[in-house]
Structure 1
Amino acid sequence: MPSATMEYPMSDYRYAFLEPGHFARGWHIVRFSRELAVGEVQRLHYFNRDLVLFRGESGAAAVVDAHCPHLGAHLASDGGRLIGDTIACPFHGWTFAGDGECVSIPYAGKIPDKARRALRGWPLLEKNGFISLWYDPDDNPPEDYLPDISAWGPDSWGDWHFHRSRIRAQPCDVIENIVDIAHFPHVHGGEVRAFENRFGERTVTQLSTVDRSANAQMVIPPDLPFDLQAMSQQAVEQRSDAWGDATYHGPAIMYYYTEVRSELMSFSSWWVNYHTPVNDEEVDLCSAVILNSLTDEPLPAEFVELYAQTAHAAFGQDVEIWKDKVFRADPILCDGDGPINKLRRWYEQFYLPLAG
């Protein structure tokens, strides 16, 4: 049954991304690197699938389908059993490499040919301090479109400060934010001074300058551990100068670089925002940040953590709208809206079969 955020009839979808059980081809972040230790096995559930993530003794991470092709045991039962860089089923000991190949059956003289590739392994990319899974139901090879973030790492700005939440929303709702100029003064308390979108083959970019405004409206997410309204008012009084460059690389991972200058504090920041589909109803939504001072004064640790919380709260403002909106497949738009239909046509490519 389609989500409450869908309105289009099941028999007549205008866009492939509205079809239940259909998820975007591309890279999707499933964990940050520090969340998975060597020798650790974790259960995942994304794309309506049970998956197992593990890191073998070499340090390489892997994701395979969760259930053994033998008699269906979950490979993470009993905490999972790793042997070197392989994972063994806790039921009968069938052992699989990170790409899903069956490499051992301890009580068999020969591995059946049918068993060798019976378990699906998923391509992974670990870089910039996060672990991304390549999802493609048609098994096309992964594409190389995720850039390096040279500022990340122990010898530079440090590791990510991140906040993740599971929300009821559609991926198409999340990604439309990149072109939605008109929602800033109603949801985020901002007044847009400059705004531009640029489209590439696998990228869409937002170049924006948004000022805090006392006259703008703001959505306040519930249960925040800080006073978002007071912080916004403080930003208005400080008259900070800020600009940002946000780019979706593929359908689900956004890099955002921003610089903020004020009398109180001046800093630059990289964000990684991602949404990974859990099922037809939910996504894992996450905001991660690293910061660097633009002056000789180091940034206070408490400010860095608070900034990470406010970054995720900014998405929380949108969540309050997404959770009970419907999706208009044929919206009535005006000349002040951003290029919403162009964005949808760009986004559709990740749901359609590759040409050729």
Structure 2
Amino acid sequence: MAEADTPAPGDARTPPVAVWQILEKLRGQDLVDWRLANVEGRASVEERNLDIGFPFGWYAMLPSADLAAGEVKPLRYFAKDLAIWRGEDGEVRMVDAYCRHLGAHLGHGGKVSGNLLECPFHAWRYDGTEGNVKEIPYTKIIPPQVKRKCIRTWHIVEANRWIWAWYHPHDIEPLFEPAHIPECSDPDWTDYEVFEWNVWGNIQNMAENGVDVAHFKYIHGTSNVPLGELRWSEWGRGADVRAKMGTPWGEVDGCISYDTMGPGQSWTRFTGISETLLIACITPVDLDHVHTRFCFTQPRSQAEGERAGLAKAIIRDICKQYDQDKVIWDRQKFEPEPVICAGDGPIADFRKFYSRYYVEGEGVPASRKRD
């Protein structure tokens, strides 16, 4: 590059390394495919210290509209195969996927019988609340091993047009409830615009991003990012980041306000240029695989009015930043004892807070447990 073309230090236009090496030429369907594709040649779970288990909390399974009454679907989350269905009463139920009889997957070919889930192999019918077998159509005697609870059932709540499941490694009762966000059911706000990623990494590394101030310059190309006013509660955290923003209508006071309830539920309100609500559904699939779905909704008056272009631009920019982070996350190692320096942000405080989502014996790589 000629000297005259060299960007000045701190120039916000400096292309972040992750962008110009991997993302620069991705457009349209190529970008969508990249967001979901497997990452070949990544290091093992053990090499990357990702064998730390999953933090407990509420996690998104599917949009409520994607599961009709009488419908059953297979899922895989938390390194488990699962079967989820909606009974004739409209209630959603979910169980571990494998039939106790001869091991058929209940979510592939199973069907709903009233409110029970029927195995596709021999029609054993499971109760999704009690976790036992209620009916076997070809016998009058149900074996005692399955007459009592014999399969894991999951706590389910529907909120914000999504189905949420409570995960805890010891299968205890929920310690808190998912948040209900009023805009999600407000007819004056748009239907969700949904974007999807597979991240080949660790949910804790991803969560730390929000307090890692230094990376914004080098990954996202921003000249500086204020940390904002941090909030910490028993099970949630958040921050308000306020800044002046330039628009075609002049400078306005803007705010990015994010909150979480546990590790799996996050929502962010963007105000100033165009009001936007992001519902982030972030769910672990396996120890090195996290499924992310971003659901955006905006006031119809803005999204469909004269500022519709700005409203869409905000969504594009948020997704672009997530793309940039994904490049790092896909191959990132979890460092249980990171070397932190001034300017990194409150990473140590964040880790102390986040540790509450792990039970004793989890949250530490298996290699260190043997030390």
TM-score normalised according to structure 1 size: 0.79
Name the amino acid aligned to 1:332: V
**Deviation string, structure 1 residues 119-169 (Cα, Å, up to 9, x no partner):** 211111111111111111212101333221111125341432211221211
Q: Is the 8 A contact 2:159 2:179 kept in 1?
A: no
- Say yes or no: does 1:348 pair with 2:360: no
Q: Deviations over 1:309-351 (max 9, x none)?
A: 5433321111012122333222222222211011112111111
Partners of 1:300 and 1:237 in 2: CA distance: 10
| Distance change in 2, residues 1:82/1:314 (3 Å) | same
172, 178, 182: which is aligned to 1:146? 178
TM-score of the pair, normalised by structure 2 = 0.76
Matches within 5 A, 1:27-176: 27-78=58-109, 80-99=110-129, 100-116=131-147, 117-153=149-185, 155-176=187-208
C-alpha displacement at 1:271, in angstroms? 1.0
Mapped contact 2:197–2:293 kept (Cα < 8 A)? yes
Alpha-carbon shift at residue 256 of structure 1 (Å)? 0.9
Query: In 2, Cα distance between the equivalents of 1:5 and 1:241?
Result: 46
Deviation readout 1:147-194 (Å, 9 max, x if unpaired):
211111253414322112212111111110221222222222333245
Pick closer, same or farther for the CA change 1:122–1:339 going to 2, 3 Å.
Answer: same
Cα deviation, residue 302, structure 1: 7.4
- Whether 2:265 is the aligned partner of 1:253: answer yes
User: Pairwise mapping of residues 305-320 of structure 1 onto structure 2 (< 5 A)?
Assistant: 307-320=314-327
Which range is displaced more, 42-51 or 98-107?
98-107
Structure 1: gaps spanning 5 or more residues = 11-17, 213-233, 262-266
Secondary structure in 2 aligned to 1:19?
A: coil
Q: Does 1:321 align with 2:328?
A: yes
Pair 1:330-2:337 in alignment: yes
User: What residue in structure 2 maps to residue 242 of structure 1?
Assistant: 254
1:215 is aligned to none
Query: Does the Cα contact within 8 Å between 2:111 and 2:117 map onto a contact in 1?
Result: yes
Query: Any conservation in 2 of the 1:7–1:326 contact (CA below 8 Å)?
Result: no
User: Could you tell me which amino acid in structure 1 is paired with residue 229 of structure 2?
Assistant: E
Matched, 1:192 2:225: yes
Q: Within the alignment, does 1:182 sit opposite 2:211 as a pair?
A: no
Distance 1:345 1:32, change over 3 A: same
8 Å CA contact 1:159, 1:290 repeated in 2: yes
CA contact (8 A) 1:146 1:249 kept: yes
- How far residue 25 of structure 1 moved from its aligned partner, in angstroms, is 1.2
Residues of 2 paired with 1:119 and 1:255: CA distance?
33
Q: CA deviation at 1:198?
A: 2.1
Match of 2:54 in 1: 23
Q: Distance in 1 between matches of 2:303 and 2:72?
A: 42
Say which SS state the counterpart of residue 173 (structure 1) adopts.
Answer: helix
More moved, 187-196 vs 107-116: 187-196
Please name the residue that 2:22 is paired with: none
Residues 273 and 71 of structure 1, relative CA distance in 2, 3 Å threshold: same
Quick one: which amino acid aligns to residue 348 of structure 1? S
Which of residues 257, 270, 291 in structure 1 aligns to 2:277?
Answer: 270
1:237-256 CA distances to partner (integer Å, 9 max, x unpaired)? 97664311111210121111
Question: SS in structure 1 opposite 2:170?
Answer: coil
Name the stretch that deviates more: 169-178 or 144-153: 144-153
Q: Is the 8 A contact 1:194 1:209 kept in 2?
A: no
Asked if the contact 1:129/1:160 (under 8 Å) is kept, the reply is no
Taking the aligned partners of 2:48 and 2:200, their CA distance within structure 1 comes to: 20
Supply the distance in 2 between the matched residues of 1:183 and 1:104 (Cα, whole angstroms): 56
Q: Tell me the secondary structure at the aligned position of residue 298 of structure 2.
A: strand
Amino acid at match of 1:245: S
As a proportion of its length, which structure holds more strand?
1
2:295 aligned with 1:284, yes or no?
no
**Residue 260 of structure 1, CA deviation:** 2.6
Question: How far apart, CA to CA, are the structure 2 residues paired with 1:194 and 1:68?
Answer: 49
Q: 1:168 to 1:294 in 2, by over 3 A?
A: same
Could you tell me which residue of structure 2 aligns to residue 13 of structure 1? none
SS in 2 for 1:278: strand
Equivalent residues of 1:47, 1:277 under 8 A apart: yes
More displaced 10-residue stretch of structure 1: 316-325 or 166-175: 316-325
Q: Tell me the residue number matched to 1:208.
A: 241
d(CA) in 1 for partners of 2:329 and 2:252? 29
Q: Deviations over 1:278-318 (max 9, x none)?
A: 11111101211111167697377777666545433321111
Q: Sort the Cα spacing of 1:341 and 1:7 in 2 relative to 1 into closer, same or farther, 3 A.
A: farther
